[in-house]
C-alpha cells in the first residue's frame, strides 16, 4: 500500500511519476524505446557532423580547391539534421505516457484493487529501487511495517522524505482510520 500511497500523494509533475512512465514504456514498448534512443543518437551524430564541418573549415581544410565542396556538404549535413530531428519529434509525440492519473486517489485505488499480481509486481518494481527492513526490537515482536520498512524510490528519495508518512497519516488513511496528524 505504500506504493499506492506514494503516488496518490504525488503531484502530476513529481519526478517519480515521470520515472515510472519512462520505465513502464521501456518495459512495455522496448521497440519504441529503442527507436527513440536511435533517433536521439542520429540527431547527436548529425549535430556532430555539422560541428566537424565548421571545425574543419576553421582549420583551413576547405580552403583552395576543396572550398567549392563546402556549401554542398553543409546543405547535406543540415538536411540530415532536419530529417533526424523530425523523426525524433514524431517519436516524442507518439510515445508520450501520462502517469499523472496515478495521482488521483480514487482512480488509483480502484485500478490497484483490480490489477492482477503480476501487474502489481511490475509497477512496484518500476518505482522502487530498494527496500530495507530493519531488525525487530526483540525476538517475537509484532511486525510493524511502517516503522521497520524503508523504501528507496526510483527518484532517490525514501519514505522518510515525506512528512505525512513519518507521522503515520498515510497509514491511517489507507486503513480507514481518521487522520490523527
Measure the CA dihedral 156/13/28/85, to 10°. -110
Residue 171 has pLDDT above 50, yes or no: no
For residue 150, tell me if it sits in a domain. yes
> What is the domain count for the chain?
2
Residues 109 and 161 in one domain: yes
At 72 the pLDDT is 93
For residue 168, tell me if it sits in a domain. yes
For residues 27-43, give the mean pLDDT.
83
Banded model confidence at residue 139, pLDDT cuts 50, 70, 90 = very high
Q: Domain of residue 61: give its range.
A: 30-94
155-167 pLDDT, tens per residue? 888 765 444 444 4
For residue 22, tell me if it sits in a domain. no
Residues 122 and 170 in one domain: yes
For residue 65, tell me if it sits in a domain. yes
Of 70, 94, 118, the position where a domain reaches its end is 94
Contact 69, 62 (CB under 8 A): yes
For residue 159, tell me if it sits in a domain. yes
Task: Provide the whole-model pTM.
Answer: 0.50
Amino acid at each position: 500500500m505504500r506504493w499506492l500511497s506514494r503516488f496518490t500523494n504525488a503531484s502530476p509533475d513529481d519526478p517519480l511519476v515521470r520515472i515510472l512512465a519512462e520505465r513502464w514504456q521501456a518495459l512495455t514498448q522496448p521497440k519504441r524505446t529503442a527507436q527513440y534512443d536511435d533517433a536521439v543518437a542520429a540527431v547527436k551524430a548529425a549535430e556532430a557532423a555539422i560541428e566537424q564541418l565548421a571545425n574543419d573549415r576553421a582549420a583551413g581544410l576547405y580552403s583552395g580547391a576543396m572550398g567549392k565542396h563546402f556549401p554542398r556538404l553543409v546543405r547535406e549535413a543540415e538536411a540530415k539534421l532536419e530529417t533526424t530531428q523530425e523523426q525524433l519529434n514524431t517519436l516524442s509525440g507518439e510515445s508520450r505516457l501520462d502517469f499523472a492519473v496515478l495521482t488521483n486517489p480514487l482512480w488509483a485505488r480502484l485500478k490497484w484493487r483490480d490489477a492482477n499480481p503480476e501487474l502489481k509486481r511490475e509497477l512496484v518494481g518500476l518505482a522502487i529501487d530498494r527496500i530495507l527492513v530493519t531488525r525487530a526490537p526483540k525476538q517475537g515482536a509484532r511486525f510493524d511495517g511502517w516503522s521497520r520498512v524503508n523504501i528507496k524510490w526510483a527518484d532517490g528519495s525514501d519514505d522518510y522524505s515525506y512528512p505525512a508518512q513519518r507521522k503515520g497519516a498515510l497509514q491511517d488513511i489507507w486503513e480507514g482510520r481518521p487522520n490523527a496528524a
